[in-house]
């Protein structure tokens, strides 16, 4: 099998995704990049998770050409490709898209997910941003590619690993990380943080974000050069 390593990593991550409970029906896909070759593996379109095999993963280059695989790729592939083109230089190797319910609730409300506590701060260095609404021209044009463009536009010069997730307005979350396993883990962390934020805002509608001191403490003890949390 060509590109075996990324196809197996992608396959494992796509199997792990529905086990998190984040996926209703078949809404969800994971891709994994081989940054040395400039190709990524992605789930094929509309195949039942139970029937999925590693060799079904479609391999696409960064120009959008299929280089291996017999099935049609996920319709969201141009969004994944746009994100790899912008974020690979930061070490992003995997992208996950779901319609997980609490994150979608914020996306549909057009609201970012504020950092209201340490669960969020352990994973995301501040609010999880929401994109602007897409224009009619973007929706009627290369829709999935333009979805990637509004995400990249929203991140501007931000390091995408400081906040490895975004909400596409009226749509839902895209999450990324350094491996397929980490990206799936962060897709779950995002949904947990969104669920907690929804409940916090229901109890306390004007709730403010956590203090910067607490945010710094929780994010920086797990990420970056001074991290000390967990096993090395």
Active site residues: 122, 229
Name the one residue in this structure whose structure tokens are 């999935």.
Answer: 144
Between strands 28-34 and 66-68, the pairing is: unpaired
Classify the C-alpha dihedral 158-161-165-168 as positive or negative: positive
Q: How many CB atoms lie within 10 A of CB 177?
A: 23
Say which DSSP state 54 is in: G
Classify the C-alpha dihedral 93-29-19-5 as positive or negative: negative
Name the one residue in this structure whose structure tokens are 């090395």.
Answer: 232
For residue 160, count CB atoms less than 10 angstroms from its CB and return exposed for 0-12, middle for 13-18, buried for 19 or more.
Answer: buried
Please report how the helices 143-155 and 77-87 are oriented relative to each other, as an axis angle in degrees rounded to 10: 30
């Amino acid at each position: 099998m060509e590109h075996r390593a990324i196809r197996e990593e992608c396959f494992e991550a796509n199997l792990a995704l529905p086990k998190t409970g984040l996926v209703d029906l078949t809404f969800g896909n994971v891709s994994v990049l081989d940054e040395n070759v400039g190709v990524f593996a992605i789930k094929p379109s509309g195949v039942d998770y139970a029937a999925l095999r590693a060799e079904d993963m479609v391999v696409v280059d960064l120009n959008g050409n299929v280089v291996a695989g017999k099935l049609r790729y996920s319709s969201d592939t141009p969004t994944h490709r746009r994100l790899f083109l912008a974020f690979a230089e930061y070490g992003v190797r995997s992208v996950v898209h779901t319609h997980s319910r609490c994150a979608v609730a914020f996306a549909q409300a057009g609201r970012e997910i504020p950092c209201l506590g340490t669960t969020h701060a352990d994973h995301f260095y501040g609010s999880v941003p929401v994109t602007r609404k897409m224009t009619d021209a973007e929706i009627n044009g290369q829709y999935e590619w333009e979805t990637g463009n509004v995400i990249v536009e929203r991140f501007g010069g931000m390091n995408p690993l400081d906040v490895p997730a975004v909400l596409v307005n009226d749509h839902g979350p895209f999450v990324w990380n350094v491996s397929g396993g980490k990206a799936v883990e962060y897709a779950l962390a995002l949904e947990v943080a969104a669920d907690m934020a929804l409940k916090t805002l229901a109890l306390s509608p004007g709730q403010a974000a956590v203090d910067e001191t607490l945010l710094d403490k929780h994010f920086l003890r797990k990420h970056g050069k001074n991290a000390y949390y967990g096993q090395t």
